[in-house]
Structures are given as structure tokens and as C-alpha cells.
Structure 1
């Protein structure tokens, strides 16, 4: 196979998977890793809730604030596979520490952003650095979990890692609102700096971990370049398509460029000797199934934007009243993550992942019952989001364990990056498509599809509830596809040694 386009800037000499093969993961290291995960999921994500206060304080237009909100997830999604592959080559601890430093720099820029002329550059650069930080921390930390923990200890480590990510995302809106309301929004990012510094101190002394290929590995510059261009085009289309217009020239050109560079990337990767992404990973059905189902279940994030808009536009609730209906999600996903770990040890990955899909599917079915009265529907929303937390908690640890266990050591970082990119893209697609369906149907001037069924006051409220029911049905379809992928790829049997 040709390698003429993979022009190296450096040659990485093969080393052992760890400089200290006898090192075992400990709680000090694990807690430091979890703090790193929280700097993104708990602290950086609070911007979704505190953006109006930031916009007012800094004197920014809404369009600039929207860019600052979206750019963090955009940079994380674009670079996460790149940094995961880089971690395999130059060191997972090195990339993890670099991620902490980026988080500190990004938070400092956001916290100290002045009002006036320099507000937008400081805020946008700080948010971009927070996204790059997440892209460094998530795949490198998962690769370290695979390398330094084994068996039941690894499953526990994954559970605590998942509490940091899933639990952090569930609590970020409530946490951000409380801190901003009592101490000001800048304090959120100042606290995040101290959390990152504490994480850096806790991971000190951990031996380095790199891929061991048994030979010199060349850096695939062409593959990295084409992949990043494809991801930039795809991420911008997914996150900004509704604002630009799905049929606009800009969206169509971005979509076409993403497809073009994606095709070039795939063609090159299948022919080069040292690919940036080794597609042989997907020959392992367990890894493939875990990644596909992870993409699909993260798409259920679309239920949040649809339901919240439904309660505000159709139910006339305030932002705070609607948000309180989701508190059950935060409580149950944190409370049941360790239950997913117990189920993994008892039954293996397949059954808990399927049970998680079924419970999540039931939650979406409840949310889609928009034909009931407002008071009844509020109860269904509360119960639905609580069930969604349980379902995703059952799924999280078994799925991550299945993906990591299927990865070869020399692709742990890149493989973890692909798995986490599936989370990012799944959530982005789920939100974008659900919102597009909801907006298109509720603004349709035609008569209600469910005429005579909806028990509301008529007019605009019926259109909103009807649009929500159809948009939420799309989310249910994603859950069904996730369950099918699990049934087709995740094995029924499991080595009993990993169940103890």
C-alpha cells in the first residue's frame, strides 16, 4: 500500500505501553481525571444557561453570543479524534496535562473578558480553548482507564468517569443558575480554574502511556488535514444549518465540502501504511455496535430542546418552570450510573445496554404524548426525563466498557476519540434534526394532522403540540436503531472472569 502522501514531520519511536508496566490505577489518579472531565461537562456547559447574563454584562449582540456558545462543542467535536490519535503517539498523560492547561487558559479568558471592544475576541477564544481542552481530556483519560485499570476496577473507573460526564451535563444548568445567581457568572469559570489545578496536582507522578507498535510510526499529516476539513464542514452544517437555512447556498456548499473531504480522507486512510484512523477497528463488531448505539442514544438530546420549547410556546411556562421539569434526569442519571456497573458485572454489556434503550424509549414515548392536558403533560415530562436518566445510566458504563475492551492498546486513544466523537455528533444531529422538524411543522399553515385529538385551547398551541409529537417520534426512531445495532453486534456471552 502506498504511503506517499503521509509526509512525516516526526518519527515516533516505539515504546512500551507504559514506562512502568507494574503501575496500577488508583483513586488519586481517577479523581484527578474526573475533575478534568467536570471542567467541560459541569463548568463549560453552564454557558447554555448563563448566556443571557453574559451577553448583557459584556454588551454583546445575540449573534456573537450564539457563536461563543456553540464554538466549544464545535472545537471538541472537530479535534477529539485527532488528539486521541496524538495521545497514542506522543503520550496520553502529556495530552491530558495539556488539556488541563488549555482549560485553565480558556476559563481565565472567559472569566476576565472585558466589556466593550475586546469582549468578543476574549470570550470566543476562551470558549474555543475550552473545546480544545475537552478534545484533549476525554480520549486521553479513557485511554488511561483502559491501560491502568482492569476487570472490575476498570468498570468502577468507567462508572465514576461517566458520573463526571453524564452527571456533569445533567447538573450544569442547575449548577450554573445557582452560582451565577448568587456569585455572578464569572465565578463559575474562576472556580473551574481551581478545579483544573487540583486535577493537575492529583495526576502528578503517573507514568506515561503510549502506543506500542513495535516499529517507527509516521504521522499521517494528509489524513489529519482532510479529516479536520471534513469535520469542520459537517459540524458547522449540523450546528448552524437551521440558522443559515438548510437549503441555503452556504449550507449546501459546506455539506458538499464535508462529503468531498470525507471521501478523500477515506480513500487515503484505506491505502496508507500508518493511517490517522485505523478503520480495522470497525472489524470488531463489539466496538462498532457500541459506537453506533452511542451515536444514536446521544441523539435523544433532541428531546430536551423540543420539550422545553413545547412547554414554553404551547404551555406558556417560563424558562425556569420548564427547566425544573428536567431535574429528575440529573438525579437519576447520577444515582443509577453505579447500578449500570453492577448490571455489567452480572450480565455483561449486551443486556444492560438493551435495557437502557428500552427505558430510554419508554421515556421518549411519554414525552411524545402531547395530546393530554397541560397539567397531565407536565407530569409525563417529569417522569419521562427521570426515566431517561435511568435508561442512559444503565447504558453508559456497559457501552463504554464494551468499546474500550474491544480496542487494541496501540489504538486506545484514537478509538476512544472516535467513540466520544460519536457522542458529540449524535447529540448535535439529534438536536439539529429534532429542532428542524419541530420548527417546520409548527410554522406550517395547514390544518392539524391530529385534528380533534389534542385537548388544548386550539390555534397555535395545537400546532406546537403536534409538531412536538412528530419531532419526538424521530428521537424514538434513533432509540430503536440503537437497540437493533446492539442486538446485531454485541455478543450474548461474556468471559466470566470479567463478571466477578
Structure 2
């Protein structure tokens, strides 16, 4: 098959084009923009579909959960079957999942949950396959530029999701968000048509690690259900305790299988590289901070009376900041190496999240403060994104690119899933308590919603704590470098 769309064969692969980059970015956007809009429009969906808070919270987090569960498997399949093929498969799943959600009937969560699971499977295919394509088709500074645009689709999509979701939900209705997702997936498919296939050429046939995958699925689903629905089930109820025990047993089995099998689906040997470990762990924790969006936007909708559009406007600074600083992070990477921009981004992110914790302020003051906080949040993530991704992918061999990308993106997805689920659990659980709120006297304005505002503040503080742990992980694992080595041409 000859290269098309202006691609030219290069050493070790094909040199990519701007059309390829655009097609990949749109593929990534189908998840990070359209699937993640539920962070802002969940209240509207919950009301129209008549589902409980617990079921709604589970629907928000389950997409990222299933993405995280299957993303490593999909990364390995991308290496063997072809990265372009897996991207196409992901786009097809995205269309199917979005259509199911758009068609969800009122009074049942079945269509919604099925669609969200399929969206997670879609992301599992798209994320590692497109990252591996970037590594295979670009070199040196071209690869760093391509990864910046990939990050714009990923992190930028997460920044746009609240504003986009609020705008569409307030004008056309939330169902149109998912019909638009179908159209974007079609556009991505058309742009990627003719892209030469990229795969690892190997005649080795190894049995698949079904036992490890099964144990991993059981452990992750059990944990997510406990976190997401623990308050509904009762934290000490037989169901919740049983699920917690199931998680522990499945987790132990998973670790035993993965450390003893030569064909483990999670290649734990990749974590022998400290830089890859630090980039992946910090990526997990920063994506976990996505709970900041869910909690802060839910608070101003529930207690300040803002619409989904008005609350989405609070994140405008976040969107502008993340889009405008991603390429700044790329330049800092080229000048300093990955460690300094990763740390700088994390510290700024922490400062931004801490501003959103000031739920004791009057509503108008809080909205303005949160706007500044979200802007700093976006600046921090923008500076962090490309250096982290490049640090992860630059430290693995080419034949492991798909698997390594899969694990790195598994960290993103599982981080988002558990971060959102834990934030929602803290917010919902503490908000229902009727005990005395510490330092209740500092809360300004209304006094009938102090418990909810306190609960939001604690949930947001949890997100700041996760980023502080990410800083510690980077300090301990990513080496100091005064300057990055010259990029290969």
C-alpha cells in the first residue's frame, strides 16, 4: 500500500502530516470532549431520565473506568493488529455508544449505562493506538509538536467539555451533544482514510493473559461500584462489604498472575524505568483531579442556581489557559527536559484547585474566585501535558510503544474514573450529614446549605491533595536535567 495524503516513507515508519494530526485529534476529542460533558450536564440528564444520584455518579465515572480496564489490552492489539485498525474500531464504538446515550428513554438507566460502557471501550482503542501512531510517524521536534496537538485534543477537550456541554444542553438539549459526537467521529474517520498501517512485525504467537484480565476487571468494577454507590448501599451493608472483599481478593489474584506469567497483559517490566513510572503515576493523579470540575460545577448549580451554561462559563479561563499553554509546555520541555515543566505545572494546578475550595465565600465572590482557580488549573495542566507524555513515550522501546501508551492512558482513565467517583462520594456523603460543621462561623451568606458547601470544600481539597502526591512522585522518579538533548531529526 503506497502512502497517501502526502505521507512519505521515513526511517522506521512514515512521516506524518497535518491531516493525520487533525484526524487523530478529532478521534481523541470524541472521548475527552463529548464523553466528558457529563461532568457538567449530569444534573440535567439525571432529572430527565429520572435516575438516582448514585446511578448518575456511576454513569459519569464508568466510561473512564472501562477505558482504563481495556486500554492496555487495546494497546497490545494495536501493536500486533495495527494502530490504524484499532483507531477505526474505536471510532465505530464511539458512534454506537453516543447513539445509545442520545436515544436513552426516560425512567431507565439501561441505555445510558450501556452507552457509557461502549464509550469507554472506544477510548480504550483510540488513546493508545493514536499515541503509538504519533510515535511511529513523527520524530524529534516533529513528534513533540504532534504530541502537543494530541494533548490539545485530550486536555483541551477536557477543558472545553463543561462549556460545550452547558451551551448545547441549554439550547438544543443534552442529547444533541452525543449526536454531534457521532458526526465528529465520522469526520475523523474520513481524515484518517488512506493512512498507512503501523504495527510491530513479529511472528511470535503468545497466549493471551485471560486470567489477569478477568481479575483486573472484577477488582476495578467492584471498587468503582463501592465508591460510586457506597452511600446508597450503606457503607457497612453486606453488599458494600462484599464488594470491598471481592476487590481485595481479585486485586491479590491479579498481582500474583501478573508477576508470575510470561504473557501478562500489563507488562510490569515497563515500570523498571523510573521516568516512565513517574510520568504514569503523576498522570493518574492529575487526571484524578477531574473531580474538581464535577464538584465545583454541581455546587454552583445546586446552591447558587446557575444553569449548566452559566456554570460552564466558569471554566472559560480553564479552556483558554490549557489551549494556550500546551505548546509553551512543549518549548519548556525542549529547553529544560521534562522534570521542571511537570513540577511547575503541578504547583500551579494545586494553587488553582485550592482557590476552588473557598466555598465559605458568598456565591458571587466564590464564582469569581473559582473562575481564577480554574484558569490556574488550566495553565498548570497545559504546562504538564506534553512533557509528561514525551517523558513516558521517550523512555520505552518502539516495539513496546502500544503497550506503554496503553498503560499510560490507563492511568489517565482510571485516574479520572476514581478521582470523579471519590470526589462525588465525598461531596454526596458529607453533604447528607447533619452533624456540626467545623468552623461554621466562617461561612458567609446563607446558613441552610453549610453542610453542602463544607462537603464541596472537602471534596475539592481531596483533589488538591492528589496533585501534591503527584509532585512527590515526580520529585522521586524523574531525573534532573539542565537541558534536553537535541531532538533527533
TM-score interval for Structure 1 and Structure 2 normalised by the shorter chain:
0.7 to 0.9
Q: Does 1:35 align with 2:16?
A: no
Local SS of the residue matching 1:270 = helix
2 CA distance for matches of 1:202 and 1:485?
38
Local SS of the residue matching 1:209 = coil
Instruction: Give the TM-score, by structure 1 length.
Output: 0.86
Q: Does 1:139 align with 2:128?
A: yes
Local SS of the residue matching 1:217 = coil
2 CA distance for matches of 1:36 and 1:458?
45
1 CA distance for matches of 2:409 and 2:282?
12
2 CA distance for matches of 1:219 and 1:234?
24
* Kept after mapping to 2: 8 A contact 1:313/1:464: no
2 CA distance for matches of 1:214 and 1:346?
41
Q: 1:187-202 to 2 correspondence within 5 Å?
A: 187-202=176-191
Q: Pairwise CA RMSD of aligned residues?
A: 3.0
Q: Provide the residue aligned with 2:236 in structure 1.
A: 247
Q: Provide the residue aligned with 1:449 in structure 2.
A: 438
Q: Provide the residue aligned with 1:411 in structure 2.
A: 400
Q: Provide the residue aligned with 1:349 in structure 2.
A: 338
Pick which of 378-387 and 313-322 moved more. 313-322
Local SS of the residue matching 1:208 = coil
* 2:161 pairs with one of 162, 172, 188: 172
Local SS of the residue matching 1:277 = coil
1 CA distance for matches of 2:174 and 2:433?
39
Q: 1:41-440 to 2 correspondence within 5 Å?
A: 41-50=32-41, 61-62=51-52, 69-111=60-102, 113=103, 115=105, 121-212=110-201, 215-312=204-301, 315=304, 317=306, 319-440=308-429
Local SS of the residue matching 1:498 = coil
Pick which of 428-437 and 395-404 moved more. 428-437
2 CA distance for matches of 1:89 and 1:275?
15
Q: Alpha-carbon deviations, 1:101-122, whole Å to 9, x = none?
A: 21223334444x27479x7655
Q: Provide the residue aligned with 2:4 in structure 1.
A: none
Distance 1:270 1:66, change over 3 A: closer
2 CA distance for matches of 1:184 and 1:380?
29
Gaps of at least 5 residues in structure 1 are 1-17
Q: Provide the residue aligned with 2:474 in structure 1.
A: 486
2 CA distance for matches of 1:134 and 1:341?
24
* Kept after mapping to 2: 8 A contact 1:76/1:134: yes
2 CA distance for matches of 1:54 and 1:286?
41
Q: Offset of 1:498 from its aligned partner?
A: 2.7
Distance 1:499 1:466, change over 3 A: farther
Q: Offset of 1:25 from its aligned partner?
A: 1.9
Q: Provide the residue aligned with 1:471 in structure 2.
A: 459
Local SS of the residue matching 1:497 = coil
Distance 1:182 1:290, change over 3 A: same
2 CA distance for matches of 1:19 and 1:95?
22
Gaps of at least 5 residues in structure 2 are 1-8
Q: Alpha-carbon deviations, 1:251-291, whole Å to 9, x = none?
A: 22222222212221221222222221111111100010011
Q: Alpha-carbon deviations, 1:389-409, whole Å to 9, x = none?
A: 100111111111111111222
1 CA distance for matches of 2:440 and 2:456?
15
Q: Alpha-carbon deviations, 1:385-441, whole Å to 9, x = none?
A: 111010011111111111111122222222212211212222233233333334444
Distance 1:175 1:230, change over 3 A: same
Q: Offset of 1:351 from its aligned partner?
A: 0.5
Q: Offset of 1:472 from its aligned partner?
A: 2.9
Local SS of the residue matching 1:496 = coil
Distance 1:415 1:236, change over 3 A: farther
Q: Offset of 1:88 from its aligned partner?
A: 2.1
2 CA distance for matches of 1:237 and 1:222?
23
* Kept after mapping to 2: 8 A contact 1:78/1:235: no
Q: Provide the residue aligned with 1:4 in structure 2.
A: none
Distance 1:349 1:67, change over 3 A: closer
Q: Offset of 1:142 from its aligned partner?
A: 0.9
Q: Alpha-carbon deviations, 1:184-237, whole Å to 9, x = none?
A: 444433332232222122222323222356744332232222222222223333
* Kept after mapping to 2: 8 A contact 1:242/1:432: no
* Kept after mapping to 2: 8 A contact 1:288/1:489: yes
Distance 1:120 1:459, change over 3 A: closer
Q: Alpha-carbon deviations, 1:73-119, whole Å to 9, x = none?
A: 332232112212222232222211111121223334444x27479x7
